[in-house]
Amino acid sequence: MKSEESLFYDLCSEKGGFSLLTETRYEHIVLNEDRVPVIAGTTMKVVELILDHLAYGWSPEELGFQHPYLSMGQVHSALAYYWDHKPELDQDIERRLQLVDQIQRTTLVSLLAEKLKARGQG
């Protein structure tokens, strides 16, 4: 019988039942139904923690401080997973940034932004 730590269930399955997450070689990292690496026992994607690390230059200790619901083991597992899968995760980060850029370009300018622009303040 598997230990409780080795089985992870997604209670938020769209089908209303349990779905087994895929284990990885990293103690605190599992792959969700979409094969996206998440920190076990949370809904946080590895890439989300890595973006904090890259954007703010936070150390593992600072990441733990900023995310108190994560253990240091979870933080270090996410960082190890990133460094071992850097090309794939960097590609995912770039895809996300391009999506944000596309959304910003196609979103209508807000009324406030238009007023500020008209006043020469935007």
* Phi, then psi, of 30 in degrees rounded to 5: -130, 160
Number of domains making up the chain? 1
Average pLDDT over residues 97-117: 81
> For residue 21, is pLDDT > 80?
no
Q: Where residue 115 falls among pLDDT bands split at 50, 70, 90? A: confident
> For residue 77, is pLDDT > 70?
yes
> Which pTM does this prediction carry?
0.69
Range of the domain at 37: 4-118
The 10 Å Cβ neighbour count of residue 49 is 26
Average pLDDT over residues 12-31: 68
Please say whether the beta carbons of 62 and 70 come within 8 A: no
Query: DSSP 3-state assignment of 23?
Result: strand
